[in-house]
Amino acid sequence: MALIVVLILTSFWIAGREALSLSECGAYARRPKYTDITVMCGTSAIELAIQVCPVIYTGYNASLLFLNHIEDNSDCHGTLDELATPPVVRFSFPIQEGTACGSTFLTSSAMGTGLFSEFSNIQRVNVSGVVRSLDPTIGTITYNVELKYFYSCAYPLEYIINNTQVAVSSASIALKDNNGSFISTLSMTLFQDENYTSPLIMPNEGIELRKKIYVEVVASNLTSQYFVLLDRCYASVSPHPTNSTFFSLFVSCSIAPMTTILENGEGQKARFFFSAFRFIEQQNETVSTYYLHCITRLCEQSTCSTFKQCNNRRRRNLRTTVFRDRINELSVLTVPIKTRTDEPTTQSKEETQPANDRSDGQVASVGLGIAVAVLVVLAVTAILMAASLHRKLKLLS
């Protein structure tokens, strides 16, 4: 008797959850196919959409589909969307271990290639799982086929940001791919104050040399599982550093003398500052223009500290050289940094005089001093001789 009551209650519960009948499916009523699932790999959540009419055709309904066999968590149940064409069951779960409805997180590592050839450990995280059907049959045998819908999202955790926009508060770029990308959550902004409150607005005449430029890279709307770690930031003469002179502000643990890292790999923002400089090859230009690029890693909170250890990462010498690797133009935003190449007007005339001119003037001054000394010696000698001759003539007379 108790078993009959349970079956009746189960039937009413299923009827309450399922409002779509096989007759309402029309032409969409068919056997399941591999293409019945759509996976959307978002930056903070993964969304699944499964055609429900093949599910009903097989003998199930939306209420009998569960993420990774998790039945006791309503957040892991699907929602029927009858307004979609064809109708679908939608699932959504965050990209966060422990709350991802039993999804498997697998992080893999490989040697860096191309733009990332500077680094020996490039990571990618794969989030995967399966939506299964729950057979309501009670007994020894069943005639229902088990439904399995597998999903997988592969996210690279290493990105290159090329963004030096100064006149706006922030900018971001997005790479469109089939596997999902976190790049749309990243932005880089330049500030003029140490509190990072006033964006740096570039004057037409450029900024003064040695002026501190404060840089912030932020991840917004990103799952809290990952932190931002800047692997390398560098400046180049060309907006696309192909066959272009570049200068590294820092690579891993090698940091240029005029660069200071304030925060890196400790949260969802990274901060550093450097002193404005100019490239020598632009010395004949009134305004020196160059571009800032940052290679940014997203690392799990538990692994960021590992990447920050210098002994586990390949060290690189900081030097000015020519960068020959190609850059995917879809990932590049380029706005110039401008620095003034003229000297400040508050310096004295002697300070602004060229070094060669000062050397010539010093040589001329020394020569003049020697000539005057010689003339003085000759004059004194002539006076002494004249006095001696006058004395002798006086004695003779």
pLDDT single digits (tens) 124-145: 899 999 998 888 878 776 777 7
Segments making up each domain of the chain, as ranges? 2-137+145-156, 158-340
Question: Using alpha carbons only, what angle is made at residue 327 by residues 324 and 330, rounded to the nearest 5 degrees?
Answer: 165
Average pLDDT over residues 344-349: 42
Confidence at residue 37, expressed as pLDDT on a 0 to 100 scale: 94
> Structure pTM?
0.58
Element (H or E) spanning 362, and its range? Answer: helix 355-396
- pLDDT per position as a tens digit, 51-85: 999 999 988 888 899 999 888 888 899 999 999 99
Which of 5-19, 99-113, 167-181 holds the top average pLDDT? 99-113
Q: Which residues pair with 51 in a beta bridge?
A: 88
Average pLDDT score over residue span 329-343? 50
Mean pLDDT score across all residues of the chain: 76
CATH superfamily, region 2-137+145-156: Zona pellucida, ZP-N domain (2.60.40.3210)
List residues bridging with 227 in a β-sheet: 299
Same fold, 2-137+145-156 and 158-340: yes
Task: Please give the residue that has the higher pLDDT: either 112 or 247.
Answer: 247
Would you say 263 and 269 are in contact if contact means Cβ atoms under 8 Å apart?
yes
pLDDT at 362: 52
Are 205 and 340 a contacting pair, CB within 8 Å? yes
At residue 207, does pLDDT exceed 60?
A: yes
Report the distance separating Cα 391 and Cα 386, nearest Å. Answer: 9
Report, at the CATH architecture level, how domain 158-340 is classified: Sandwich (2.60)
Is the model's pLDDT at 330 over the cut of 80? no
pLDDT average, residue stretch 201-208: 85
pLDDT of residue 311: 54
Which residues, in sequence order, are bridge partners of residue 259?
274
How long, in residues, is the chain?
Answer: 397
Q: Are 101 and 74 within 8 A, CB to CB?
A: no
- Contact 214/190 with Cβ under 8 angstroms? yes
